[in-house]
Amino acid sequence: MLGVQQSAVSRRIHALEDELGVSLFERISSGVRLTVAGQRFVDRTRIAFEEIDRAVANARSAGRGVDGALRIGLVSSIFTGPLDRLLEDYRGGHPDVAFEFFEGSSAAQLAMLLQRRIDVALCLDGIATAECDMEKLWTGDVFAALPDAHPLAGCDVVDWELLKDEHFILGRDALGAALDQLATDRISQAGGRISLETHDVSRAAVMRLVALRFGVGLVSDSSVAIGYPGVVFRPVSGEKERLSYSVVWLPGNDNPALRRFISLARSMASKGWGASP
């Protein structure tokens, strides 16, 4: 993969270990594996090389006349009306800004933000930390995903009292939005004990399992715009069930593209996500 012989790589690694005074790899009969010191070294140098990659990308952007770059982290379930309009308006007003998108849970985004691997995180149930600035931009509803033949499918709205005896099945999207914790708390408050299973699968896979009556799902409001055979969505009542969509960034990040993005988000939020400023 590197285009050099294995023996040359081994010599260079040995030379690096000699210079550092530690072993980076534990050599065993079946191969090699990182030592504790080696793992720490890799983790730190990976961040450094990502910064170098960013510097190269920015230099190339400048050479192409691109007006900066913006690295955005988000959870897949956040794609909804306000975010669509924010990205569309920003892109329209700044066509020469280069974008990089990263997908992950709110916790994963926070880690990337603190490591300066992304400029801004757009996530559900905004994560707060002393190192970051955060603003809530809009709120959305929680929906129960039900098999179309489920007795509750005939309701316009459901509540936790009606859901407390159901078995829930949640995937990556729901876990990233902390809907498992929300359901656990609300069903406990309703006097029940949650029956829950989680899987490392996509939203589409969970909806198929819901249609097959494996359980009831929970989704954010952006998910209901997509139709899934055999599945109906019903809003879960209660103001406390509304999800917060937030923007999070490091205050010391002086990226002009980021500042313009935050400014536009604030302006659109203050106008209720209506007409563009």
So what's the pLDDT on residue 195?
95
pLDDT at 156: 93
CATH code, domain with 10 = 1.10.10.10
Beta strands in the chain (DSSP E): 25-28, 31-34, 69-74, 98-103, 120-124, 133-140, 142-147, 167-170, 195-198, 217-220, 231-235, 243-249
Q: Is the pLDDT of residue 122 over 60?
A: yes
Q: Does 59 reside within a domain?
A: no
Say if 57 falls within a structural domain. no
Residues 153 and 236 in one domain: yes
Same domain, 150 and 229: yes
Residue 275 lies in a domain: no
**Domain match, 127 and 152 both:** no
Residues 159 and 206 in one domain: yes
CATH at 126: 3.40.190.10
Residue 250 located in a structural domain: yes
User: Is a pLDDT exceeding 50 seen at residue 276?
Assistant: no
Per the listing, tokens 């900066």 go with 68
**Phi then psi dihedrals of residue 161, to 5 deg:** -60, -40
Q: How confident is the model at residue 262 (pLDDT cuts 50, 70, 90)?
A: very high
**Total count of domains within the chain:** 3
Same domain (yes/no): 171, 45: no
Nearest to 167, CA basis, from 127, 215, 114, 129: 215
Average pLDDT of 194-198? 94
Q: Does residue 123 sit within a domain?
A: yes
pLDDT in tens, 204-232: 999 999 999 999 999 987 778 788 999 99
Is 206:176 a contact under the CB 8 Å cutoff? no
Check whether residue 128 and residue 252 sit in a common domain.
yes
Do 236 and 149 lie in one domain? The reply is yes
Say whether both 72 and 95 belong to one domain. Answer: yes
Is residue 262 in a domain? yes
- Looking at the fold, whether 151 and 170 belong to one and the same domain comes out as yes
Average pLDDT, the chain: 85
pLDDT score, position 82: 84
In a domain, 276, yes or no: no
Q: Tell whether 187 and 248 lie within a shared domain.
A: no
pLDDT band at 125 (very low <50, low <70, confident <90, very high): low
Q: Which domain holds residue 173?
A: 142-241
**Contact by Cβ (8 Å): 269, 122:** no
- For residues 257 and 39, give the distance between their C-alpha atoms in angstroms, rounded to a whole number: 34
Mark whether 74 and 130 lie in a shared domain. Answer: yes
Instruction: With cut-offs at 50, 70 and 90, classify the pLDDT of residue 78.
Output: low
